[in-house]
């Protein structure tokens, strides 16, 4: 992705491949893409929900738009590749133009309350659920000597992390690591890489997330205002239209971005310089306050562990 000329974003007539397109951000994005005249392939696990969304999308589409659903377990590399091949076959064998990786979930929990299995599932459901699709898509696009866009969805928790996100942040950081490597490497193959870093989306996933979230994590996040999926999707598409590499949906994330992105191409040079100046003070202060909240909770957490007999259990 270039530093001065920005890549164009124009969904009309494009084949958009959207993982996790049957709910939340993915679904909101599909609606917007269909309204703009794109062909949309939704990939998700739940066939019933997926087919229903296809019906909803067809109702707002023109008859020449191809809108389909493919059921796949995207944590598996073979299923991920097969789903992409199936979608390609519906479009004269041509690889998708835009690949949006929206599938994923979050289950925040204290590290000592998690099992190794939960750590692994948490990671797979954030990282591999997208990485295998990215791999299959890039193979196809390069082999066909086409251009394309890969859009990953990370999170505020892909820049910064704190108590409660030990099973979630590794995957979100890893997505950013993948995107940073590919942004550079895909210059070789004319593929644009983008990564969305939303702060919080009022999706079905967000409700599930809140069920396991420790009290201290809630407390740290209490000033946050999660966005409706439609609003979040709008931020994502605005960023794509402007050609941004790392796309955010609020100013707090922009401040953290400037202290976390290792100098990748800036969005708006003037605003980013301002954010960097403010973040020099604001971000460490936010960190100190967060650590302070954790420290305040120490006694309560230790009392809770005592109550459930954690300290006396076998190691």
Q: Where in 90-119 is the site for its own copies (CB under 8 A)?
A: 93, 95, 110-112, 114, 116-117, 119
Looking at the Cβ atoms of 13 and 93, the one nearer to its own copies is 93
Give the nearer residue to its own copies in terms of CB position, either 64 or 312: 312
| CB atoms closer than 10 angstroms to residue 3 | 10
Residue 149 annotated as catalytic: no
Q: Closest separation between CB of residue 63 and its own copies, Å?
A: 29
What minimum distance in Å lies between the beta carbon of 16 and its own copies?
18
Closest CA to 156 of 201, 97, 192, 191: 201
Least separation in angstroms between CB 10 and its own copies: 24
Q: Does 262 bind its own copies (CB under 8 A)?
A: yes
Within 40-79, the residues that bind its own copies by CB under 8 A are 77
Q: Is 308 in the site for its own copies (CB under 8 A)?
A: no
Q: Under a CB-based contact definition with an 8 Å cutoff, are residues 265 and 1 in contact?
A: yes
What is the maximum span of the chain, computed from C-alpha positions, in angstroms? 66
DSSP 244-271: -SEEESSHHHHHHHHTTSTTPPPSSHHH
CA distance 80 to 76: 6
The label of the residue with tokens 């591999």 reads 128
Residue among 71 and 88 whose Cβ is closer to its own copies? 88
Nearest by Cα to 202 from 163, 172, 176, 233: 233
In this chain, which of 57, 87, 138, 233 binds its own copies, going by CB under 8 A? Answer: 138
Name the E strands within the chain.
15-19, 39-44, 67-71, 98-101, 148-153, 191-197, 246-248
Would you give the binding string for its own copies spanning residues 159-198, x where CB under 8 A is met?
xxxxxxxx-xxxxxxxxxxx-xxx-xxxxxx---------
CB of 95 to its own copies, least distance (A): 7
Q: Is residue 234 among the annotated active site residues?
A: no
Pick one of 208, 268, 284, 308: the residue that binds its own copies (CB under 8 A): 284
Pick 23 or 154: Cβ nearer its own copies: 154
Residues 196-255 that bind its own copies (CB under 8 A): none
CB nearer its own copies, residue 100 or residue 173 = 173
Spatial contact of 77 and 132, defined as CB atoms under 8 Å apart = yes
Q: How far is the CB of 213 from its own copies (least distance, A)?
A: 13
The tokens describing 64, both together, are 């020449």
* Residue from the set 13, 46, 60, 120 that interacts with its own copies by CB under 8 A: 120
Nearest to 78 by CA among 135, 160, 21, 122: 135
Name the active-site residue from 17, 168, 173, 235.
168
Of 28, 8, 17, which is closest to residue 232 (Cα–Cα)?
28
- Known catalytic residues are 168, 172
């Amino acid at each position: 992705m270039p530093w001065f000329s920005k890549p164009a974003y124009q969904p009309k007539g494009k084949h958009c491949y959207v993982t996790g397109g049957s709910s939340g951000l993915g679904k909101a994005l599909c609606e917007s893409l269909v309204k703009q005249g794109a062909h949309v392939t939704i990939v998700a696990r739940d066939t019933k929900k997926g087919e229903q969304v296809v019906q909803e999308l067809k109702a707002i589409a023109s008859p020449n738009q191809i809108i389909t659903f493919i059921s796949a377990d995207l944590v598996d590399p073979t299923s991920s590749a097969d789903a992409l091949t199936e979608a390609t076959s519906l479009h004269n064998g041509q690889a998708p133009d835009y690949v949006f990786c929206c599938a994923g979930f979050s289950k925040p929990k204290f590290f000592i309350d998690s099992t190794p299995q939960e750590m692994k599932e948490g990671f797979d459901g954030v990282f591999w659920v997208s990485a295998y699709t990215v791999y299959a898509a890039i193979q196809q696009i390069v082999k066909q000597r086409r251009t394309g866009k890969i859009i990953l969805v990370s999170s505020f928790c892909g820049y910064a992390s704190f108590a409660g996100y030990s099973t979630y942040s590794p995957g979100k950081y890893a997505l950013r690591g993948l995107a940073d490597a590919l942004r550079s490497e895909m210059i070789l193959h004319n593929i644009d890489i983008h990564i969305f870093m939303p702060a919080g989306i009022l999706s079905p996933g967000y409700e599930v997330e809140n069920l396991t979230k420790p009290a201290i994590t809630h407390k740290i996040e209490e000033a946050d205002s999660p966005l409706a999926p439609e609003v979040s999707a709008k931020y994502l598409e605005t960023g794509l239209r402007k050609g941004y590499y790392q796309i955010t949906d609020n100013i707090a994330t922009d401040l953290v971005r400037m202290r976390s992105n290792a100098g990748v191409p800036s969005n708006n040079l003037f605003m980013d310089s301002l954010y960097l100046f403010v973040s020099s003070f604001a971000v460490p202060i936010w960190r100190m306050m967060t650590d302070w909240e954790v420290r305040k909770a120490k006694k309560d957490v230790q009392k809770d562990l005592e109550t459930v007999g954690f300290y006396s259990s076998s190691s």
